[in-house]
A and B are shown apart, each in its own frame.
Chain A
Amino acid sequence: METISIAKDFSKNPGARYGDDGDFSGELFYKELLLPAFERAINSKQKLTIDLNGIYGFPSSFVSESFGKLSIEKGANNVISVLVFISDENPIRAEKAIAEIKSPIKDEQ
């Protein structure tokens, strides 16, 4: 089972939504790490673990552009069934990601 640690594999300080907003954006995380790892997990019929420990925070725009986008692209149920979150430092981070996956479109919230 593959694991992505946002702090170790990406950055301890996740940024905003798009690449042109600034460094460590949700868009970059989605394209470079999350989407490829998700597709590998689907192909190998395995889970994908997302480790949310060690980061300074988990900004909404970052979450929306990464996990929200993944949900829009691949379907909320698929994403929920594949991803496993580790968030010992702050369980709210995992709840936030799951809430975003379940309803990524603002009007549906």
Chain B
Amino acid sequence: MGKKNRLLGNIRARYQKKRKSKKWKHRKLSKVREKKRKASYERLLRRYEKIRRDQARKEYYLQRSKTPIALKAPADFSLINNTDEILEYWENVGSELQKKENVFVDIDHIESLTSDAVALMIAYINNSDFMNDSIIVGRAPRKRNLAKIFTQSGFYKYVFSQGKFDISNGEILHKETNNKVVPEIAVSSFLVGAEHTFGKDIPFDGLYEILIECMSNTHNHASLNRKDKCKWWIYTHPDDHKVTCYSFLDLGVGIFESMRTKGFFTKVLKTVGIYKNIDFVTDLLDGKIQSRMEKDRKIRGKGIPEIVKHSKNDLFRTFILITNDVKIDLKTGECQQLGHNFSGTFFYWEIKPHT
């Protein structure tokens, strides 16, 4: 017992001696100092966050107080039918937003409206680069049938509550926030179209495959710097005549911008402006144009040719691709040089019942 007590006493004495040493005191003190430093840093961080939030709030209210500039939309508010005018319109909206001006998107008077234009509008309004912390205001078109297209699309929900997935009266409007290929969304969109147009869920591989290839195209090619950076949007709109309209888009760099031609000379010639994007349409549709992705180059590039192949199916009434300054009718192969650039890729197609 005595031996054990002596041992404990020794340990205690050694510890007490150690506690008096400079090294021990320094270590303990630095721990306290470190704790204080951390607490002070966190306080600073919290204060900075608060200042930043207050500043952002102030800027927002300041921005809100600015009178928006009214920009009158083209009477034919359809990207597919009136491509150049619509692109020019959004170019003007974008340029005002970049100047930190608010914009009143005046579509009150429009005479026609298609679902593709609604999809494009929602994508722009939800794109932070495009919005540049400015504000877009507007109201639905005066014509009742056009206003209905707006409300049915879930437009208000998207613009004001940043909803992720909405099905309204059998329509689908979806923004893929993870930027990936989501087969479940392809199935949902497929089912809406198949049930509206054919009356039942019939096997229609082409429609499903197109949706997957469109998502894959955005995931891999829409951004120059990094895969999966770009968001995609899909809008499935069943119209009143058993036709289902599909709009699939991303606001990336566009197919031609992301392409990489095989020959060095063509690249150089394109750079100096001898070749235009439209000159590469055939190569694009044949899958001969390479993207910037290096991996598995020899086996990749089958997505666009697959979409082109399916577009020839009689069940597709219309099939349009708009990317950069080119509009292509995939059913006929006709292309149109656009006067305005669309930074992104827009696929639009309609499915119709068997005749």
Contact = CB atoms under 8 A, between A and B. Distances in A.
Contacts of B190: 56
B109 interface: no
Give chain A's interface secondary structure class: loop
Given A21-B219, A107-B298, A57 B208 contact: yes
Nearest to B205: A57
- How extensive is the interface on chain B, given as a class? 20 to 34
B182 interface: yes
Contact of A64 (B186, B207, B212, B299): B299
Given A20-B227, A21-B181, A89 B203 contact: yes
Interface stretch (B121-129, B300-308, B329-337): B300-308
Contact of B209 (A20, A24, A59, A105): A59
Given A16-B212, A57-B208, A106-B287, A23 B303 contact: no
Interface stretch (A7-15, A29-37, A75-83): A7-15
B216 interface: yes
Give chain B's interface secondary structure class: helix
A23 B213 contact: no
A90 B101 CA distance: 55
A104 B299 contact: yes
A68 B299 CA distance: 8
A22 B209 contact: no
B215 interface: yes
Given A23-B183, A64-B299, A16 B206 contact: no
Contacts of A65: 299
Interface in A91-109: 92-93, 104-107
Contact of A22 (B180, B203, B205, B298): B180
A93 B219 contact: no
Contact of B212 (A15, A68, A92, A104): A15
Interface of B: 180-184, 186-187, 190, 203, 205-209, 212-213, 215-216, 219-220, 227-228, 287, 298-303, 305-306
